[in-house]
Structure 1
Amino acid sequence: MGALRKTSHWDFVNELIVEKETVGYLSNGDRYWRLCSRLAEVRTTGSDFHSKERVVSFAIADAIVQYRHIWRRTLTPDVLTPYFDALLSQESMDYVSTAVHQLCDLLDEHRHVHAGIIRIVWRVALVKPENLSDALKEKLLSTLWSRTQIPFQAIKRSRAMATHFFNHETKRHQRVPFGIRQLNATLTTPLFPFFYVSVPLPVRHWSQSILEASLSPANPLSIRWSNLSLLAFFHSISGSQSLHMPLSLDSTEFTDWHAALMTGILETVISSYPSPDDVRGLVRLLWQRWRQSPHGNKRPSFVIRAFVSACFRLAGHTKDVELCHECYRYSVRHNLFLSSGGVPSSERVQADSLMNHCVQAFLDLPGQEWATLFQSIDIQPPEAFGRQADLFIQSLVSRDPNLAHQLYKHCIRHSIPLSGETQKLLMTGLVAHRPSATISVLDHWVGDVRPLLLPILRSLGTCRLQHMEPLQAKILGSALLKHVATQKLTSHFKRPIQHCLYLFITANRAEDAVQIVDAILKHKPSYFSASFLKRLLQLLLRHRQFRLSIRLANLFGNIPPAVTNDIRETLVLGLLRGGASNLARRLAPPDMPRSHEVIARIAGFRKHPSRITVPKVPPVSRHSVTDLPSFTFAFLLVLNSARPSIPSKVLMSALSQMDPTTKTLLVNTYLNHLTRRSQRRVARNRRVFRSVVHMKDFFVQRAGFSPDRVTTNIFVKALMRSNGFDAVKVRALFDHLTRHGYPVAERWRRENNVPFGTVPLPPGYLQLSFPEGPIEFQKHCRPLYKMFIKALHRRRDVTGAKMIVGILKDEEAAYLLGKGT
């Protein structure tokens, strides 16, 4: 077995064939396998020159013998392609001559050959002219000419050219429009029916005449061979290759044969040229030669559109503005866009494709050259341009949805009719980029809105839109309400609708949000979770939608009692904090077991308790010190009362039982309340800062209070309440904070390495403390900088305020960048 594995399978093939030859009989199959084994010997011969030449000569000689026995009886000539490749790979011209003669005999014998043999023909045609004798050229050209004189018989199936393609935008299979590749395939079909494409009869007659004029024996041999080489070059070149064959544009030899093939070659290789300047001049010259051709009036309209479409594509790739405009004017002048009806469907498909390539070309141009297309809308009658406008929009949706929407609005203003399919395609393509523009269309949308609603809602959630225009919220809410009132929603709508309901409330369309929730819960009471409905209730309370909050709370269906008590407490306390004391008092049940509700009842369900009820709150709060939310609620009620001496006593009695973090939070709340209370009583009271400093020192000494950077912000706020603190001092204070670590970008620093260039303040100035620890942008930096902006505006220092606005924007950008990474 080891010896067998070292032996090539071709050795076994040769051994079997020799045994059968000794018997005296070799079938055509045996000869074919012997031919293949000889070709394998040619490919695997060693590097020794003398032995290689001897082995190759013997192998090729035997291969030629086997070929002569089987070539007439081969039903599929493509299996003989390796034989011709081997002969043409040899340096000896004798082998090349043999290959050409045998190839011509094979083409005479077999009318229908496939891609392999056709590739061999192109390979021979691309051999350098000086390496082939005139006799061999004449032999091949005569063979091909004789094939063109055979009456045409279309083959049933051909894999050379596709007839349909799948449109991912319309989700349908559509006919491939007749383009430059189909045109060149039609030119090749009389030679090789493998390239057969179903085309109109005028195009077939035109291509037959062009082919006969290019390969006619009446022409000189050099011209015929050059035309054949150009055809072979078109079928052989790939997109990754560059032009290595000169394309002659001599006006004396230039025909439609050259125009079609050169255009196809340029379209194939254009992507390999990074700079459009390399081929722009060649494309423009090709266009001029084609227009100046004396046989232009004999071209069928299909041929003209195919060439102009290719020129549009080349002009867009090379950024040739002048050529784009020339092609557009030529198309309009010769009615290539078919603005009138009554034409065959194949011609309509090609005209639509021409319009699509026109749009793509103008979009590829620099600047606003696509405005030319918009101007043409006003030139033609609206009803005649409706079809072209559909094509414009359909081609623009995938490239530039915003531009497609501009064209859509232009058509609406000028009463240009658009098909429903086009409008739907535009809306579905636009919703991911501009959901707000899609919402405005719902107001006058005719038909089922379901295909648009879900993409719109998903887009609003994906882009995390925080605010919506009230008019858009009204349109979307109306469309959504009509939909949910008649149909049950699937789970795919759940999360998008939840985000959309938040937007309705912030856009002052809270009633629409509650109506939508009511309509959905009527069909399916368990569609929304209790936690979501609670968040929605809290948002309504924050926006002071008290009546709608009560209405939403009544929509809660079968939920556990614990959740019911939680919802009731949220509603009552929300009404209380919002100042709706009467509603809170009316909705509160007599038996309220929770501490929040007990405290609210003692305070008379008032946000600002009276002087009589305030003393009753502290005893309750002392029993709920361990319940921090309840104590904070009671403490805030006391702060809002008209008894300023009670809050400090309540706080001092409870601080000893709290951890340092809670202690700092409550003391900062109290200090901040001092600044607000002084603002309500006496504007910019000079004693505000002193009272804040005094109470801070009091809590530090008596309760172990540790100031943090929020405390520093409160001190700055108290300073700015004073009338004597003018704009100059505000600037100096900002520079003082900058020197103590508050962030400022380098580009804002001026003299003394600070934004406003003030001199340093003496140590301990204004008794400001700067605790250790990081400065957080959201918690410390942004509120502080906004206070400075407001203070400078009030003091009419607009320049200083603008500088701090710029500093704040830079810091916010840096924060978001760091957050994203």
Structure 2
Amino acid sequence: MSPQDESTPDPLEDSDACKAWTSHSAVDTLRRFLSSANLASDHPLVYSPTTIRSLYYCAESRNQLAMLDSRMLTLLMTLFGSLSISPRTSIVYKHPLASRFLDVCARRNHWAFVLKVGRYKAESGMTLQDSDRFWLMRAELANVRARSPLGPLSRHAYSAILRARTHYHIIRRHSRHPEVHAHYLETLLATLDPRLLDFAACDLSFLLRNHHECHPRLQRLLYRLVIQHGGDLSNRSQEAILAALWTRACQTAGGTSNLVPENGLSHITCHDCILDATAIARSLSTTLFGFAGRLPNDESVNSLGYLFSVFSPAYSLPLRWNSLVLFSIFNASDILHFNGPHWTSDHTIPQVTSCWKVIFGLATVEKFVSEEPSLEFATQSTPMEGVLETTRTLYQLWLPIIKPRLVSRDLACAITTSLLRIACILVDVTLFYDCQDLYRTENSLEGPPTSAQKHLTAQYIAATMCFQGPRPNAVLTTLEGFSLDTEQQHQVLASAVEALAPTDASLAYTIYSIAQGKGTELDPGATYALAMSFARRGAFREAVLFLNDGRFSLEKRAIVVSAIAHSLRENPRIRHPRSVFVAIGNELAALYHSHVPPEHFRGHLEQLFVVLAQHGRGSQLFPVVLSIFKRLPNFFQPGFFVRYCHMLVRHRQFSTASKLLNAITSIHPQIARSLCIFTDRIAMRTKAFRVFKRITPLRGPTSLRLSSRLRCRPLAGPPLDFSLQELLKSGRVLAAKRIFACAAATVSPRQCTVLGNIILHGVSRQPVSRNGRRVRKVLALLEALVKDHGFRPDRVTANILVKAMINWRSAVDSLRLRELFDQFIRGGHPAAGYSPLRPPFDTRRTHFSGSPGFSKLPPFISFEKHTRPLFKMFIKAFYLCNDVEAARKVVGILKVEGRKSAIAKEVRQKARLRGKVKAGQRNAIPLDATVSSID
């Protein structure tokens, strides 16, 4: 057996492989494949998985597996394990040659072979490596899913999970890759077995205690376990998870004493990253699990560390578990069904637990209401009532904490900010006035304003404008009551604009105008939020005003343009002033003239180019399209060029359309050819004759070589037919005529007719400005073929001529079509209940000028080759002429003749079958003769 190249699959199967090798060649080939030199080679030996398994089985049948050492068996298990999972999965134990096998074979499961190799390695007394145990664990878990996909666990499946758990417990301390742990835990959760759920809880608690960073995938599994399966866990499992979280909290804070300060919650202060309940909840989550792009600063961790005391063993298990449930519901990426006891208030809730509940409850409500647009959410009475009731309950729980001033000023401002934001989204006037009292209480306290207080003032201004309308004087009064410092007032206004922009762009623009009236420029972040709000709502006139802001980065300008394109795509019928598209065109030319846009922006960008071409900006943006097309020829979809060219032609931008056709000819020749015909027709109607000179002929490299090769090496049969078709598709009519002239003298008359029909059909499809000219060209070519080369027209020739004449609509109207159809019926075509003496339309005999002599055609008529295509052409032509009655009559005739043809075809098949049976009986040898010959 010779090794194969990376892209060449090995055709050997198991049985063939066993026969092909001698007693020592199979194991030697396998050792050579698994050697270190082969793995390190730039061009390694690569065999198909079937061949490798055959090598292993051959070595096993001859008791030669002892020649494979521990490293080779590990590589074998790793290779087949890597081939059994998705190639997109990133695992540290993957085989280096696994990616090369993707071109050799399709992905399939090889877990049975992995278990076989692993069992042999263990029985041989070899030490199992971590990678061996990982692939054995994956193989056992795959067997579990195969044995019990939906129903309860069988005894064998439960045993497989126990074996997988044994391997997992050995490697879990060494490996921190999420794929090692996640697949095992997901399998346990999918079983819904209470025993296995307790196993998952214990294993998760081990990871939380021993791994400093908890991967987001493992966090999602923890949230799923707590929310969906928390009610099925035993008290011991719940205690294990809570103890692990308490251990992490103590490690984060630097000790238990830092989590239980003497001054309670009043020391908690908010910083720049902690301005509302959502920010506090995110900071707590990031601090606890220690896995994020940027961790909070040390001051933030220390100030919020006391809240982690909700996991302290000093509190009861139900209180701590409910705190974890709130924590999990907020951090879960999707809405999960909660399975467990609800929060009960029959007993006294500790102060820190109440604060924890308010923070994560409000953060969850904000997360829920921010996913729904305010107008759509307000129309859903049932969800809104539930959210309102939850928010008011949290507000009532917050009052006993805020009134005695048991918390710091910053934390009180952050909670009030979230309450105001929820009141604006839910349009709850009662909650707004309650929060107004809280705001006045916080604003009356002495001391320098903090970031949390600035954020609260901005949210209060936004809420006031939502409930009381745009009142500039009230805004100025609130600003003066907050601070007389101009810089701080500007920061508050910028925060108010950012708060109002997602929900009400007009009110946000009012605050922006107030800031402009005070003679100041807001932060680029506030201006960007306002521009995005206008762009998403279709207010392009206001959105393009912000594109000229020099403080916007290139990325932000591209995102604003993308939002405008998305809005145009969602609402294509809304009309906008021309000045808007001028500004958008200038911005696109500045953004993408020198670099390629991102891949995800392709659909929006294509729509934007088409819309701008509709508004006369095609010539301005064509250099941008050409620049992107030259850098990435496959960036635009082929359908985009069709839509773009149609829009350019319809709006009389022929120069740009011709440049587009010349640019895409090399990449999309078929599309360019069809668009060239369309452009020529529209240009002739509008008398734009210079367009023809700007469009180059669409000739591919194949057609340019065909004529010279055919002159040196003449062809016959199907290759000659294909060559003529390729020449005609490329517009090389003269070359096709030359090839036909050379071949006409050497082929049979029947083949000459076939080649002539190919040329006639190709000429009838050539792009010309007028259909009358096409008819005259086809008739002149037919006359030349008959006169010079002895061409004999047949029924296919007649169909080609009829198709060319039907397309000449200025000369062939509905009456002429009826006369022409009756003439074909008189010529011998079947017509159901009609006859040549009584045609369907009963028109008089007419002779068209220049029409072919249909009476000289061969008498044989095939329904499939001649009648059906002809009648379909007439049906389409009648519909285009708005002669529905004639079209329906031809459809009826076609149906009747189609049934007759099907019956006749079936009769012929049965007769042919009977003839074969009779022939077999005549040629059969009699039985007595056979017996006598044997004797």
TM-score interval for Structure 1 and Structure 2 normalised by the shorter chain: 0.3 to 0.5
- The structure with more radius of gyration: 1
Q: Normalised by the size of structure 1, how large is the TM-score?
A: 0.43
